[in-house]
Structure 1
Amino acid sequence: MPSLTGVPLQIIAALVAVAVFAATMWLWPRLAGKGWRSWLGRFGAFLAAQVAVLVAMGLVANSYFGFYTTWSDLLGTDGAPGQVVDHQPGKAVSLTGEQKMYSAQGSAKDRSGVIQNVTIKGAGSGLSSQAYVYLPPQYFQPGYAARKFPMALVLAGYPGSAEKLISLMSYPTSTLQAIQAGQLPPTVLVMMRTTPAGGSRDTECMDIPNGPKVETYFTEDLPKAMSATYRITDLPQARAVIGNSTGGYCALKFALRKPDAYRAAVSLSGYYTAPIDPTTGDLFEGSAELKRENDLLWRLHTQPAAPVSLLLATSPNEDNYEGTQKMVGAFKAPTQLSTITLDSGGHNFHTWTREIPPALTWLGKRLTPPQA
């Protein structure tokens, strides 16, 4: 079956749309009668043309925004729970592919870095997920051979894809530029979706009762797996998490709920409490306490302040604008909170690409540099 995001399927859909439209124009004079057959024929031709055009446009939009990356994502058929897998130390990350990183300095690893396609398996959660790891050029330079690097987990929104973090949001390119400008220490990126459990359910990065332990996967399993496989500093002050939309909510929640996992978090257009909608189902199983525990504004108001740094990005056009103002008014030391407020900008990739460079500069002041 053709890939849901592949160019061949988009070309086929476009050709079908053109053919159906042309057939409609050719048949229309023949369907000009007043009988029920003519009415039914015109309705059918009009409906077929509309559906063909909408399908072609939908496939192009889906490929661009990365809403659904596979047919099982679209149909919701890949809903099997994660399987517990036992691993030997250092074997939780398996390399499945590698792609060159191109920049003005060329494509050599020690000049531009490299992007690796890996699978990260969680021993505690039993979950597994694909990820893209960007290793900066310093990782391959002799002067850094005995050093361990800071790490930034980058999370896409729901139901976005990790590929768009590279191709559309240009995280590796922006990171390399920030490193070369001295605004960010050489940092390893781990780029992922927010749904390691598989299937189409939006888990909001929770440990769901009687369900997948997504928070455990990201806050416990992933840091251990990465530091056991790569030269990454195993200290919370050397780890950060950044995300857009759902990924932004998850980033803030990880820092506030598990400061020993991530000491810095960046939220681009993120919200501040987990929704209940058809994509999530009942995440809390009726528990008001569990719902409060995942409400970030409630945490700032009522829980002891966590020693973390938070960056919230918004604009007056964003749905999170009012909530961001409430977050600013609620935090207290030792929590540190900063904001990026654009003059205008919506919930889209164009807005987030404007926020990523200053966000990386902000991270550069908080992440520890590579350590001996």
Structure 2
Amino acid sequence: MGLTSNELLVSAVLLAVLLFVGTVWLWPRLARRGWRAVSGRVGLLLATQVAVFVSVGLCANQTFGFYASWADLFGKERGEGVVVDHDFAGGGPLQVVDTQQVKVAGGSRPRVGGQIQKIDIVGRTTHIATPAYVYLPPEYFQSRYRTRTFPAAAVLTGYPGTAEALIKGLHYPQTAHELARDGRMQPMILVMLRPTVAPPRDTECVDIPGGPQTESFFAKDLPDAVSAHYRVGEKPGSWGIIGDSTGGYCALKLAVHHPEVYAAGAGLSAYYKAPIDPTTGDLFHGDEELRNSADLRWYLKHRPAPDTSLLVSSSKVGEADYQDTLKFIELVKSRRHTRISSIILDSGGHNFNTWRREIPGTLEWMSGRLSDR
């Protein structure tokens, strides 16, 4: 059974319940002295606690999408398979491998509910290969819009994260559908994936010297592949990017570094400088300019102000980045061509519940800054 399968979660919960009941039932028999009775009590308590711990862990992983597979969980997923030197058999950098309906009323009909397509992408310039999900709004399938192009937004998870979590946990397709239906945003294409395109390494959307060219993948290969396959607007201003946590940092950095590609970037609970830790390894290999560029505050102080729009979010209570976010807002306000907006909650932690509260406003804000032509 897969790590994220419902069958595994149900089995773990049932095992925990059975062990708890068994402990209560057998406890009187094991209340005696002696090594056998003591060993029995210890064994039952240990097994029950492990089963409860596993059940809670599986439930949390289902909810927050930390790991996609057993290999991902145990660090066995390696990056060697990411780099390829050929295209798909179909001859293009993007291939649709599956479709699923959006969980809204009438979702079984794409003209009513839109559609989610699972895709595989191979970057033409970076040779990075990664899966993703594309949400197509209902209008994409309606005959009166058959010649229309649509704005698009890349949507990124945190690290490690799974692309499925953007659908199942953060409900991006459902929220976009409801907002467009109510006239609060224009119909948009959402390209949902995780920033971890060279698993298990956290590349922080950096072009690593001698390693994965992650920033180039998101700045060029991803929009090029999607625009070649779907009806996305071709003029500047057609693309935006959204992310939470690590994905939020990536979204802001890509909008700041590549305003000609991303007209708007939204970072939910983002940070503003690439960290160096065991999950990232050495990102810069002594390249001081690359290191400085990965610090958004340094970049905005020392480089020409990018013509782009930024949105940041945080909470007065519950988010460690609150003060950094206020300082970042003040810094951007001093730059003539860069526009800044914010969502500041009174309280909210670094979690899905907080981000679900911020996503409707974020999508509305993004919609108002992108063009469909």
TM-score under structure 2 length normalisation: 0.92
Change beyond 3 A, Cα 1:338–1:43: same
Kindly report which structure 2 residues correspond to 1:18-37, keeping only aligned pairs within 5 A, or say none. Answer: 18-35=17-34
One-letter identity of the residue aligned with 2:260: D
Aligned residues: 368
SS in 2 for 1:130: strand
Moved more, 56-65 or 107-116: 107-116
| Alignment match, 1:132 | 133
Q: Distance in 1 between matches of 2:141 and 2:270?
A: 34
1:27, distance to aligned residue in structure 2 (A): 4.4
| Alignment match, 1:4 | 3
Match of 1:346 among 346, 349, 364: 349
| Alignment match, 2:69 | 70
| Alignment match, 1:368 | 371
One-letter identity of the residue aligned with 1:302: H
Kindly report which structure 2 residues correspond to 1:163-182, keeping only aligned pairs within 5 A, or say none. Answer: 163-182=164-183
Change beyond 3 A, Cα 1:296–1:108: same
One-letter identity of the residue aligned with 1:186: P
Change beyond 3 A, Cα 1:105–1:4: closer
Moved more, 163-172 or 125-134: 163-172
1:104, distance to aligned residue in structure 2 (A): 3.9
| Alignment match, 1:269 | 269
Gaps of 5+ in 2: none
1:169, distance to aligned residue in structure 2 (A): 1.5
Q: CA RMSD in A?
A: 2.0
**What are the Cα deviations for residues 221-279 of structure 1, in whole angstroms up to 9, with x where unaligned?**
01110111111123331100011111111100111112222110011111111122232
Q: Distance in 1 between matches of 2:210 and 2:32?
A: 61
Verify the 8 A CA contact 1:185 1:367 in the aligned structure 2: no
Change beyond 3 A, Cα 1:30–1:107: closer
**What are the Cα deviations for residues 275-310 of structure 1, in whole angstroms up to 9, with x where unaligned?**
222322232335444322111111122221000000
1:41, distance to aligned residue in structure 2 (A): 4.3
| Alignment match, 1:336 | 339
| Alignment match, 1:59 | 58
| Alignment match, 2:194 | 193
SS in 2 for 1:232: coil
1:34, distance to aligned residue in structure 2 (A): 5.0
TM-score under structure 1 length normalisation: 0.92
Verify the 8 A CA contact 1:223 1:234 in the aligned structure 2: no
Kindly report which structure 2 residues correspond to 1:295-306, keeping only aligned pairs within 5 A, or say none. Answer: 295-306=295-306
Q: Distance in 2 between matches of 1:222 and 1:90?
A: 16
Q: Distance in 2 between matches of 1:23 and 1:313?
A: 48
One-letter identity of the residue aligned with 1:17: A
Kindly report which structure 2 residues correspond to 1:150-169, keeping only aligned pairs within 5 A, or say none. Answer: 150-169=151-170
Verify the 8 A CA contact 2:84 2:129 in the aligned structure 1: no
Q: Distance in 1 between matches of 2:40 and 2:286?
A: 51
Verify the 8 A CA contact 2:188 2:367 in the aligned structure 1: no
Matched, 1:214 2:218: no
SS in 1 for 2:316: coil
| Alignment match, 2:226 | 226
SS in 1 for 2:228: helix
Matched, 1:47 2:46: yes
One-letter identity of the residue aligned with 1:358: G
Verify the 8 A CA contact 1:259 1:306 in the aligned structure 2: yes
**What are the Cα deviations for residues 134-178 of structure 1, in whole angstroms up to 9, with x where unaligned?**
111221222222222211101111122111211221211221222
Aligned residues with identical type, % of pairs:
48
One-letter identity of the residue aligned with 1:245: S
1:22, distance to aligned residue in structure 2 (A): 3.5
Q: Distance in 2 between matches of 1:24 and 1:180?
A: 53
Verify the 8 A CA contact 1:90 1:228 in the aligned structure 2: no
Change beyond 3 A, Cα 1:244–1:28: same
Matched, 1:357 2:360: yes
Matched, 1:325 2:326: yes
One-letter identity of the residue aligned with 1:300: L
